[in-house]
């Protein structure tokens, strides 16, 4: 049994939040000479249950292997490093039966062991052990003595070990228990992991030292000056009598070390015995009317507060610094204001995740995330659903991101129970209060979130009251408060922002247009990016940018949570829930990011970058309007170029000179080129692209930032196929010299995650959760029956003397097939074709409700590969006028010219049935031949996996569909 605490079993008691843990404080830098990082290889042994841990596992000497001991890496998750326990994915349901606060019969418990030696210069100092993060709860032993116990997987715990360390080698043991009573408030939509997933170190603090520094760096947008308030707490070691004569010296410096304002030196109060007078060993100082520049995500100017503790003899005995940014956050007049200016929330939700290390992410991982985010025009992050490592906030301060910092509170499985449960009240308060205490000095944090999907009750109001008292400078955010009590006036005690989750476009438009609520609406989650998704993203932003009271939101989510897995045959794949034998599970619902787990952008990332672009261009009767959607800086950091195209061929181009356009300003400019009347049947487009002038921390010079395309003339095609013929790029061959593919009617698509959960059909059938389209398609047999038996289909085939084969189709879709996946044909083409060239929307995959970012042009690229974790429909390009497949060996081209309305097309190496049958990429084999789909109609994507389904205008209605095309073979 675990020594000292074993009989008490604190992990089963929700009221037992900590034992011997030091109070939380701001993250304070220290001289590296006084900090020893303990990351790296530790000895580790896994036990079935905390009661199975023998005392000698934590009190005996450090094992050197054998006897069940392994070497593991810290930071890390043992679930990713050793056999015997695996990652477990659930969304709402708990991984064990419950009810709260019960823990499971099998409760894996890991014992971590290592040694460290003290530096001789540390003698006489206070020694503190820092455990950056442990999932779920942990107990610390040093040299066989119990030191302390802590909860909250996502915030650090610190322990005073001064009295138990010894000279020479020290034996450290950390016992981590996977599940606890506190697991019920860590029920987030993510993998359940286990272990020491953040850094561990020991540091030596002076016997009298700076215990905490609180700063409030305010910006007055009227006076255009900053002001700084600092509150510094001095800690005297327990056996050190507070004495007169200590001073706190503080000053403000710019990035070059130049002093801003005056230096201050104030005495540390020491009369702790004075009743009703003593307020702690706290020094407060203020600097008004500072000539500083404000901080924003667009211009993240930072300054340094340098704090020194001076002893009675005048010697500096301790020092630290804090990076600050001067800014003011307010909610007023239905707007979230930064420095008195409304900002767009171009946001995304982000979890800590790495495909090989799980929840253990490095500084390089964090920076890579942020670089990729900024390259996609993201400027705001919600730390779903827990505080990140403080290093992440340091980076957001430095690089410029707005952050909603979220407390590690989610009781989703019991969300209407625990929020009012008094046994969990201390948990609520500690988790939120410790987050605010640690992170309040970060300028990037613009709001505090009380957690996620935990109902709304007394515990929330208690936490909200504490935060409002401790930090009145920031608004509060909590979604369930407005979900349960209403958007207009509900949940005011807990949230200053109307922050709905997956609302419909109509509902946010109604809120904005009604003018009833006085709070801004910022969606905490929207546009669920599960698989081939993010339909109507541009439709959301059309409403957001045109409706008062709406300011954007945080897309769900940044990255798939796939975990690298090696199968028995050596095959490697990214796995989802259930593929580790984890039961119960929620399958691939964990794969819902705009990026892959390896940080490769999914096709929808381009749509996100487009709706979040900082500058827009639109056609007006007199020319163009250019709008700067940034709030604080101009457009001079970008270069604009334009090009005019006719049927995809660029006919003119040049630089667009508009001068510097100020923040939140729109200017009118003339068209850059005279537009003459285009001939009938020609597509004429004007495209404007904005690229970065210089290399930045997030992209090289020339990075594409924003783009818009305006249609000046459009081909008009009659529905009966009488549009002007396209000119081929070479002579055609006689019909008997080439085998052209035969089209077959095509009505089905491999269901997207939004169409329905093919891996979890019970959710749709029994619970009606997620998209319902797949279930309806299966009822009528679209997934298995011959499509010719489901619709009336007439085909006319013609062959001209040059060997070109023409097809004209008429398809009558009956009422019972309303909202079908597609109407079109499929062709099976020889596999030697490896490249696709087309005139249509591109270059990236696009669908009828996700194509605002796709430009009409001539594109050329290799055949698409599946970009999604679970096989499903992919690769569509909309509104194609023609396409060509190029033979890799001979250069011969198979050309398809569209007669009549443009068609949607996809060119891939899988059939719809193969994609639909495959549960994983390892079930899918690349065909030798090429599958070409031509659709006159294709259902949109929507976000019904978690959110609204496809809008009516993107659905396939019953009725008559008519389309035509010509096939020809062209030699090299």
Task: Of 154-163, 277-286, 781-790, give the lowest mean pLDDT range.
Answer: 277-286
Segment 481-520, tens digit of pLDDT = 999 999 999 999 999 999 999 999 999 999 999 999 999 9
Q: How far apart are CA 361 and CA 198, in angstroms?
A: 8
Q: How far apart are CA 185 and CA 140, in angstroms?
A: 22
> Tokens 């710019």 correspond to what residue?
254
Token pair recorded at residue 57: 């596992």
Residue 324: HSE in the Cβ half-sphere, 13 Å Cα cutoff: 31
Split at pLDDT 50, 70, 90, the class of 724 is very low
Segment 388-439, tens digit of pLDDT = 999 999 999 999 999 999 999 999 999 999 999 999 999 999 999 999 999 9
User: How much is the average pLDDT of 627-631?
Assistant: 98
Task: Of 674-683, 740-749, 796-805, 841-850, give the lowest mean pLDDT range.
Answer: 674-683
Bridge-partner residues for 625, per DSSP?
618, 668
Q: Report the percent of the chain where pLDDT is more than 90.
A: 89
Bridge-partner residues for 125, per DSSP?
none
Split at pLDDT 50, 70, 90, the class of 238 is confident
Segment 23-46, tens digit of pLDDT = 999 999 999 999 999 999 999 999
- SS3 readout for 30-55: CCHHHEEECCEEEEEEEECCHHHCCC
pLDDT tops 70 at residue 532: yes
User: How much is the average pLDDT of 819-843?
Assistant: 95
Segment 580-626, tens digit of pLDDT = 999 999 999 999 999 999 999 999 999 999 999 999 999 999 999 99
Starting at the earlier edge strand, list the strands of the sheet with 833-842.
Answer: 792-799, 805-813, 959-970, 893-899, 882-887, 833-842, 855-862
Segment 346-361, tens digit of pLDDT = 999 999 999 999 999 9
Using DSSP's 3-state secondary structure scheme, residue 427 falls into: helix
| 186 vs 738, higher pLDDT | 186
Q: What is the pLDDT of residue 732?
A: 38
Q: What is the pLDDT of residue 739?
A: 66
Sign of CA dihedral 579, 582, 586, 591: negative
Contacts of 789 (CB under 8 A, 6+ apart): none
CA proximity to 330, closest of 524, 496, 552, 544: 496
Q: How far apart are CA 22 and CA 434, in angstroms?
A: 11
Q: What is the pLDDT of residue 522?
A: 98
Q: What is the pLDDT of residue 273?
A: 76
In terms of Cβ atoms closer than 10 Å to its own Cβ (0-12, 13-18, 19+), residue 695 is exposed
Q: What is the pLDDT of residue 211?
A: 97
Token pair recorded at residue 266: 């104030």
Split at pLDDT 50, 70, 90, the class of 718 is low
Sign of CA dihedral 454, 457, 462, 468: positive
pLDDT tops 90 at residue 627: yes
pLDDT tops 70 at residue 720: no
Beta carbons of 445 and 401 less than 8 angstroms apart = no
Task: Of 667-681, 762-776, 809-823, give the lowest mean pLDDT range.
Answer: 667-681
CA proximity to 172, closest of 205, 149, 198, 145: 145
Token pair recorded at residue 417: 């129970």
Q: What is the pLDDT of residue 512?
A: 97
Q: What is the pLDDT of residue 678?
A: 62
Q: What is the pLDDT of residue 717?
A: 63
Split at pLDDT 50, 70, 90, the class of 277 is confident
Residue 214: HSE in the Cβ half-sphere, 13 Å Cα cutoff: 15
Contacts of 258 (CB under 8 A, 6+ apart): none
Task: Of 128-142, 640-654, 679-693, give the lowest mean pLDDT range.
Answer: 679-693
User: How much is the average pLDDT of 709-715?
Assistant: 91
* Dihedral over alpha carbons 501, 504, 509, 514 (to 10 degrees): -70
Q: What is the pLDDT of residue 764?
A: 76
Q: What is the pLDDT of residue 875?
A: 98
Segment 254-266, tens digit of pLDDT = 999 999 999 999 9
Q: How far apart are CA 470 and CA 450, in angstroms?
A: 14
pLDDT tops 80 at residue 242: yes
User: How much is the average pLDDT of 135-159?
Assistant: 98
Q: How far apart are CA 28 and CA 130, in angstroms?
A: 12
- SS3 readout for 913-928: HHHHHCCCHHHCCCCC
Q: How far apart are CA 972 and CA 832, in angstroms?
A: 14
Mean pLDDT taken over the chain: 94
Token pair recorded at residue 758: 């093919």
By annotation, the residues acting in catalysis are 453, 525
Q: How far apart are CA 247 and CA 29, in angstroms?
A: 19
Segment 92-141, tens digit of pLDDT = 999 999 899 999 999 999 999 999 999 989 999 999 999 999 999 999 99
Split at pLDDT 50, 70, 90, the class of 675 is confident
DSSP-assigned letter for residue 717: -
Number of helices followed by number of strands (H, E) in the chain: 12, 53
pLDDT tops 90 at residue 736: no
């Amino acid at each position: 049994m675990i020594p000292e605490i074993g009989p008490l079993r604190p992990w089963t008691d929700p009221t037992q939040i900590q034992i011997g843990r030091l109070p939380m404080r701001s993250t304070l830098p220290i001289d590296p000479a006084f900090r020893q990082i303990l990351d790296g290889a530790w000895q580790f042994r896994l036990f079935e249950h905390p009661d199975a841990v023998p005392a000698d596992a934590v009190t005996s000497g450090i094992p050197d292997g054998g006897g069940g001991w392994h070497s593991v890496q810290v930071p890390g998750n043992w679930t990713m490093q050793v056999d015997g326990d695996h990652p477990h994915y659930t969304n709402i349901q708990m991984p064990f039966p419950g009810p709260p606060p019960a823990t499971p019969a099998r409760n894996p418990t890991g014992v971590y062991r290592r040694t460290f030696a003290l530096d001789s210069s540390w003698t006489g100092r206070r020694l503190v052990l820092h455990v950056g993060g442990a999932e779920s709860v942990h107990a610390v032993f040093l040299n066989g003595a119990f030191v302390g116990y802590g909860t909250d997987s996502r915030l650090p715990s610190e322990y005073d070990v001064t009295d138990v360390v010894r000279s020479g080698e020290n034996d450290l043991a950390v016992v981590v228990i996977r599940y606890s009573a506190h697991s019920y408030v860590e029920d987030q939509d993510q993998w359940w992991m286990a272990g020491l997933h953040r850094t561990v170190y020991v540091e030596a603090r002076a016997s009298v030292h700076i215990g905490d520094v609180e700063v409030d760096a305010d910006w007055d947008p009227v006076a255009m000056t900053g002001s700084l308030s600092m509150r510094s707490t001095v800690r005297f070691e327990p056996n050190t009598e507070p004495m007169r004569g200590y001073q706190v010296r503080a000053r403000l410096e710019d990035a070059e070390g130049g002093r801003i304002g005056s230096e201050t030196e104030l005495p540390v109060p020491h009369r702790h015995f004075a009743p009703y007078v003593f307020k702690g060993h706290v020094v407060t100082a203020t600097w008004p009317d500072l000539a500083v520049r404000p901080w924003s995500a667009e211009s993240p100017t930072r300054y340094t507060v340098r704090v020194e503790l001076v002893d009675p003899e005048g010697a500096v005995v301790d020092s630290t610094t804090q990076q600050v940014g001067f800014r003011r956050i307010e909610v007023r007049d239905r707007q979230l204001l930064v420095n008195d200016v409304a900002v767009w929330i171009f946001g995304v939700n982000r979890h800590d995740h790495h495909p090989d290390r799980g929840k253990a992410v490095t500084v390089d991982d964090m920076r890579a995330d942020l670089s990729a985010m900024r390259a996609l025009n993201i400027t705001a992050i919600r730390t779903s659903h827990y505080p990140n490592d403080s290093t992440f906030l340091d980076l957001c301060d430095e690089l410029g991101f707005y952050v909603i910092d979220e407390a590690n509170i989610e009781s989703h499985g019991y969300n209407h129970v625990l929020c009012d449960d008094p046994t969990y009240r201390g948990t609520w308060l500690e988790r939120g209060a410790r987050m605010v205490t640690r992170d309040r000095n970060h300028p990037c944090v613009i709001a505090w979130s009380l957690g996620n999907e935990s109902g709304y009750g007394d515990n929330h109001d208690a936490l909200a009251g504490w935060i409002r008292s401790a930090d009145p400078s920031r608004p509060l955010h909590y979604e369930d408060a407005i979900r349960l009590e209403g958007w207009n006036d509900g949940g005011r005690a807990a949230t200053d922002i109307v922050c709905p989750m997956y609302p419909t476009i109509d509902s946010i438009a109604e809120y904005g247009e009604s003018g009833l609520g006085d709070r801004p609406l910022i969606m905490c989650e929207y546009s669920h990016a599960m698989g081939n998704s993010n339909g109507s993203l541009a439709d959301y932003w059309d409403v957001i940018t045109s409706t008062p009271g709406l300011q954007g939101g945080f897309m769900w989510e940044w990255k798939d949570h796939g975990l690298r897995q090696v199968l028995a045959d050596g095959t490697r794949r990214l796995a989802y829930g259930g593929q580790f034998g984890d039961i119960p599970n929620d399958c691939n619902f964990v794969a819902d990011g705009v990026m892959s787990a390896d940080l490769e952008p999914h096709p929808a990332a381009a749509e996100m970058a487009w709706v979040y672009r900082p500058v827009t261009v639109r056609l007006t009767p007199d020319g163009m309007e250019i709008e700067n959607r940034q709030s604080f800086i101009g457009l001079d950091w970008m270069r604009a170029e334009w090009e005019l195209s006719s049927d995809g061929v660029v006919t003119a181009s040049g630089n667009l000179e508009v001068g510097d356009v100020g923040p939140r300003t729109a200017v009118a400019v003339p068209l850059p080129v005279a537009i003459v009347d285009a001939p009938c049947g020609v597509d004429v487009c004007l495209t404007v692209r904005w690229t970065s002038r210089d290399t930045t921390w997030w992209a090289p010079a020339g990075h594409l930032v924003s783009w818009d395309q305006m249609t000046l003339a459009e081909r008009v095609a009659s529905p009966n196929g009488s549009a002007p013929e396209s000119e081929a790029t070479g002579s055609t061959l006689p019909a008997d010299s080439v085998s052209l593919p035969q089209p077959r009617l095509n009505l089905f698509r491999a269901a997207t995650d939004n169409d329905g959960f093919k891996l979890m059909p019970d959710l749709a059938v029994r619970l009606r959760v997620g998209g319902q389209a797949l279930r309806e398609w299966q009822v009528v047999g679209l997934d298995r029956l011959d499509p010719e038996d489901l619709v009336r289909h007439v085909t006319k085939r013609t062959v001209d003397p040059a060997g070109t084969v023409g097809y004209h189709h008429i398809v009558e879709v009956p009422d019972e097939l309303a909202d079908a996946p597609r109407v079109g044909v499929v062709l099976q083409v020889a596999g030697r074709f490896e490249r696709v060239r087309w005139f249509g929307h591109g270059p990236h995959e696009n669908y009828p409700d996700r194509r605002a970012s796709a430009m009409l042009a001539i594109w050329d690229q290799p055949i698409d590969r599946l970009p999604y974790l679970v096989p499903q429909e992919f690769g569509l390009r909309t509104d194609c006028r023609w396409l060509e497949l190029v033979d890799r060996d001979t250069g011969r081209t198979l050309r398809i010219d569209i007669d009549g309305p443009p068609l949607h097309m996809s060119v891939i190496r899988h059939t719809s049935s193969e994609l639909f049958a495959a549960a994983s990429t390892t079930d899918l084999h690349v065909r030798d031949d090429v599958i070409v789909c031509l659709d006159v109609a294709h259902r949109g994507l929507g976000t019904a996996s978690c959110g609204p389904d496809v809008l009516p205008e993107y659905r396939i209605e019953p009725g008559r569909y008519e389309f035509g095309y010509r096939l020809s073979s062209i030699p090299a």
